[in-house]
Structure 1
Amino acid sequence: MPSRKPHTNSHHGCVQCKARRVKCDQEQPSCARCRKKDRNCTYQHLTSSYDPFKNYNDASSTPSSSATLYAIPSRRGFIKPEPTAETTPPNESLSTESSSNLSSSSLKSLSHQGIIYPLYNEPQILDATSQELLYHYDTEVEVLSCFHDAVIRHSFAHPYVYHAVLTVSALHLASLTAPFQGTPASRSPHLVTALAHKAFALEALRSTVESMSGPTCEPALAASGLLTVCAFALLHAGVASDTIDLLAQIMALYRGTVAIFRFGRQVLHTVPSGTIPRLRQSVVTATACETPWPEAEAAVDKVLAKVLELTEASTDAKEKKNALMDAGFKLKTALRRVAAARGVHNVACMWLAMVNSRFNESVKAREPLSLILVAHWVVTLRYVTHIWWVQGWPERTIRAVWEEVGEQHPDLMQWVSEEIRGDVRDE
């Protein structure tokens, strides 16, 4: 039997070109065709519901090489390479002098739209763009303290951690220059860099998750946590993304992170890890204390009463109803924990990992009662005022949910609306 004829179609073209079945040049943030036609340009695998934890069959194309730097110590454990005459200018290849010290087999680089991402098997100096991103992450970006040590250890040994770090750093820079602006013309150049790194990180992480082992568990856990932060941070970087769709992606990432964590606990005796015990302790601490939050629990009870009215005419309808009831009861528990530890982001976000996959699917499908439960949960983030990538999410989510289902169930959205208005009054 003759082999299948290879094709040259783009796997990662924009949504608009795919819908028209035309070739996309994959330029970001807007491809040439969309710019010419003055259309919005959306990359589904970069800014929407791309899930690295799905059971894909295709292999990742991202090289898995290690990276090391000539560097000086910094205050948080990361590095800033010393400036030298051999430092590579942005968007250019290595200088003749520096590249002459490398064999062709030792230097591996990933190039995307003129951006160079070197990954080295032996010490060498990074390009200027990556230097600045790493230094910015080290000095300016506060992300997840529980993952910090793992990020430091694994960022130059595993490409998915390396690219996740650069994604977070670039998104933070983009948030400083284009906060909450979604038009292509206003997008920061840092956003283009962030999306490219995010694509590489997701692809490499997906391949790792498919064949998880003890040695790759901790770096995969660190990368998954960073990519979840990236999904939150897209809201601040000027991405014109659907808030509900982005929330569905965040929920999938949280569930994936928890799955890696549970795997790590099983293999901890064979592969020592300092991150997993610390995470375990934080979970125990977060679940140990609960304080009643009567208004919030009463509001969720109103939603659950509406869920009870749903019919069970089919197996699918019964599963949907059970998933909603389960999510609602777990949300009441989560709200009590938040009431005992207001402002602690990992306590506030824990509910995202508590709900089952069927509920995630209903959120992605924009089923009204699932969105209303999400709107009740996101109120807990209004107390997390010290983390940049969380800020703004309560208002944006509640606005998006209201536009979808608010007019159908205004009574169920009453407490949520009052909480947000109360937040404005407190300011």
Structure 2
Amino acid sequence: MDRPRWGSLGINADDNFESTNRPYHAKRPHKKSRAGCSQCKRRKVKCDEGRPTCRACRLRKETCVYPGTAVTPSSPSTPNSSSPGRSPGLSPSSDAGTVVAEPLFRPRQLVDALDMKMLWFYTTWGFHYFSIQTGRSAAVDHVLQVKVVEHAFRSPFLMDCLMAVSSLHLRSMNQPIQAHRTANYCARAFEGYRNAIEAANPADYPALIACSLLIVVVSSQAFRDPEGKSLYIIDWMQVWRGIGLIFEIVSPAALQESGMAVLFYRPPVDLEKATGYIPNNLLFMIASIRPGDADYGHEQTYYDMLKYLGSLYQEMREHGFNPILDLRVITFFTFIPKSFIPLAKEHRPRALVILAYYLCFTKLIREVWWMRDISDDQISQVCREIGDEWSHLLRVPQSVLKMTDKVEIAQTIINNRNWSPGELDLYEKNRDPRLDTDLKLVNNSGSEVRAYRNQWRRKASVESIERGDVGFDMSSLGQSAEFSPDVAKPVSGPS
């Protein structure tokens, strides 16, 4: 994809958006409607001339009256009526083609040219950074470019989130977006998202689904705050886990109806096979736990965490650098067991060591602007926090700190100086067939799931029921393991 010419943004350092209160109006050329309703003529918007009620009046819940017709006595006379009157003699089925020439309303937060540019930037370029399928799948592109924006026009908190993401992205590219405007966007995004979760309004479910993905990006800015909280990686891990909370609120049917399920596909994980790729020093770190140790009783949590970490080692050893590896690294925190979070929050040394090894993999992610500048600072903080007693377990993270070459970092992570990535560039379009076959809705045990009776269930169990397998134990269907789908990354993008 060609790099955009950022000079064409028209965002200048001298622009004083705060002192300019002129609203930005986008007029689109359209064919005049000669027989439109009175409401549309008054508002000077395109009328689709639908009978008995045009689309604009239906959406606004206003009485739709065409010139030369009368409102029936039973029709309410107030503009806020939800029961529009019919024009006599017209069939409800007569409907002209719907043409919307411009938005039927302008959200209150789009108040000036900068707001409009933020939205424009997201729809033309920024959306690339939320799925590895961007540019490969027309369906994914449509969801990110069109559906997300449609829901943002209906749910202001999602629009605030889009504004925040775009402003942070542009600032990362050294564009002159004023810091206080970015801070205002972010504050509104967090407040709106929190309030929407508390309200749990079904009408906002599609926007909540999209916002759970975008809020991860907004919150990543704390990594680049020089006065940010120490070991912020732990807080960010909890933000990722918040995606699971949304999927507890939103039913499978609502997810499918929103059209956004494709944004939360993850590659499956074979946890048993991944166990064979866990570094021996980390396995020994857990095996050495004895009665009286502060971590005694938490061994299984640590082992489970190491299995997910092992899936990263497995992917890199078997397939080299590729989009699926990037996806596994970025979505890592959506898999981890809940019981690991309090251990990390207590800064248990073993938990921090595991996080340090994960952070080594994040240093391989170069093309995703919101994943940059995370690894080095956080690894250094882990090393300072746990001290010399555990330093022998941090030799790999400490070595990675000093490296910039991607291949050298990978060789250090897997402890193989002779390793080299495959000859084929799997980032090239259609080079990795797994992008078409392996990305699915996957639960936190790594198994594919599907909706069954409006609950997430393991696909294999559902198929057994549908086949009518003799002797199938219905109790094995159960609830699928905790389900927290993913947010993804682009295959390529600007440096």
Normalising to structure 2: TM-score of the pair?
0.53
Gaps of 5+ in 1: 1-74, 83-87, 107-119, 179-187
8 Å contact from structure 1 (residues 299, 412) kept in 2: yes
Question: How far does residue 228 in structure 1 lie from its aligned partner after superposition?
Answer: 0.5
Equivalent runs, 1:5-44 vs 2, <5 Å? none
8 Å contact from structure 1 (residues 172, 233) kept in 2: no
Q: 2:307 aligns with which of 325, 329, 335?
A: 329
Question: How far does residue 310 in structure 1 lie from its aligned partner after superposition?
Answer: 6.1
1:228 pairs with 2:216: yes
Equivalent runs, 1:312-351 vs 2, <5 Å? 320-337=298-315, 339-340=317-318, 342-344=321-323, 345-351=326-332
Question: How far does residue 266 in structure 1 lie from its aligned partner after superposition?
Answer: 2.6
1:396 pairs with 2:377: yes
Counterpart CA distance in 1 for 2:366 and 2:147 is 25
Question: How far does residue 354 in structure 1 lie from its aligned partner after superposition?
Answer: 1.9
SS in 2 for 1:409: helix
1:415 pairs with 2:396: yes
Bigger Cα Rg: 2
Q: What's 2:64 paired with?
A: none
SS in 1 for 2:258: coil
Equivalent runs, 1:358-377 vs 2, <5 Å? 358-377=339-358
Q: 1:144 aligns with which of 130, 146, 169?
A: 130
Question: How far does residue 424 in structure 1 lie from its aligned partner after superposition?
Answer: 4.1
Q: What's 1:46 paired with?
A: none
8 Å contact from structure 2 (residues 160, 185) kept in 1: yes
Gaps of 5+ in 2: 26-42, 44-59, 61-102, 132-139, 409-495
Question: How far does residue 264 in structure 1 lie from its aligned partner after superposition?
Answer: 3.9
Q: Taking structure 1 as reference, are residues 95 and 191 closer, same or farther at Cα in structure 2, changes over 3 Å only?
A: closer
Instruction: Give the partner amino acid of 1:409.
Output: W
Question: How far does residue 96 in structure 1 lie from its aligned partner after superposition?
Answer: 9.8
Q: What's 1:122 paired with?
A: 105
SS in 1 for 2:172: helix
Q: What's 1:91 paired with?
A: 18
Counterpart CA distance in 1 for 2:249 and 2:306 is 27
Q: 2:228 aligns with which of 219, 241, 244?
A: 241
Q: What's 1:275 paired with?
A: 260
SS in 2 for 1:355: coil
8 Å contact from structure 1 (residues 348, 381) kept in 2: yes
8 Å contact from structure 1 (residues 304, 325) kept in 2: yes
Counterpart CA distance in 1 for 2:185 and 2:203 is 23
Alpha-carbon deviations, 1:9-67, whole Å to 9, x = none? xxxxxxxxxxxxxxxxxxxxxxxxxxxxxxxxxxxxxxxxxxxxxxxxxxxxxxxxxxx
Counterpart CA distance in 1 for 2:202 and 2:153 is 18
Q: What's 2:282 paired with?
A: 300
Q: What's 1:156 paired with?
A: 153
Counterpart CA distance in 2 for 1:405 and 1:97 is 53
Question: How far does residue 294 in structure 1 lie from its aligned partner after superposition?
Answer: 6.9
Question: How far does residue 375 in structure 1 lie from its aligned partner after superposition?
Answer: 0.6
- Supply the RMSD in Å over aligned alpha carbons: 4.0
Question: How far does residue 422 in structure 1 lie from its aligned partner after superposition?
Answer: 5.2
8 Å contact from structure 2 (residues 278, 309) kept in 1: no
Alpha-carbon deviations, 1:128-163, whole Å to 9, x = none? 221232233334434203662542222222122111
Question: How far does residue 217 in structure 1 lie from its aligned partner after superposition?
Answer: 2.5
Q: Tell me the number of residue pairs that the alignment of Structure 1 and Structure 2 aligns.
A: 308
Counterpart CA distance in 2 for 1:321 and 1:194 is 43
Task: From the two aligned structures, give the one with the greater helix fraction.
Answer: 1
Runs of 4+ in 1 over 6 A off after TM superposition: 288-295
1:173 pairs with 2:170: yes
Counterpart CA distance in 1 for 2:388 and 2:357 is 16
Counterpart CA distance in 2 for 1:376 and 1:97 is 48
Counterpart CA distance in 2 for 1:169 and 1:425 is 28
1:131 pairs with 2:116: yes
Question: How far does residue 204 in structure 1 lie from its aligned partner after superposition?
Answer: 1.6
Instruction: Give the partner amino acid of 1:242.
Output: K
Alpha-carbon deviations, 1:204-233, whole Å to 9, x = none? 211222343544332112112111012224
Counterpart CA distance in 1 for 2:152 and 2:337 is 31
Instruction: Give the partner amino acid of 1:200.
Output: R
Counterpart CA distance in 2 for 1:239 and 1:343 is 32
Counterpart CA distance in 2 for 1:326 and 1:289 is 9
8 Å contact from structure 2 (residues 301, 337) kept in 1: yes
Question: How far does residue 358 in structure 1 lie from its aligned partner after superposition?
Answer: 3.3
Deviates more, 1:394-403 or 1:361-370: 361-370
Q: Taking structure 1 as reference, are residues 91 and 229 closer, same or farther at Cα in structure 2, changes over 3 Å only?
A: same
Question: How far does residue 332 in structure 1 lie from its aligned partner after superposition?
Answer: 2.2
Q: 2:241 aligns with which of 255, 258, 265?
A: 255
SS in 1 for 2:228: coil
Counterpart CA distance in 1 for 2:263 and 2:117 is 30
8 Å contact from structure 1 (residues 343, 381) kept in 2: no
Which protein has greater RCO, CA pairs closer than 8 Å, 6+ apart? 2
Q: 2:195 aligns with which of 207, 210, 215?
A: 207
8 Å contact from structure 2 (residues 277, 313) kept in 1: no
Q: Taking structure 1 as reference, are residues 156 and 97 closer, same or farther at Cα in structure 2, changes over 3 Å only?
A: closer
Counterpart CA distance in 2 for 1:350 and 1:395 is 19
8 Å contact from structure 2 (residues 365, 371) kept in 1: yes
8 Å contact from structure 2 (residues 275, 307) kept in 1: no
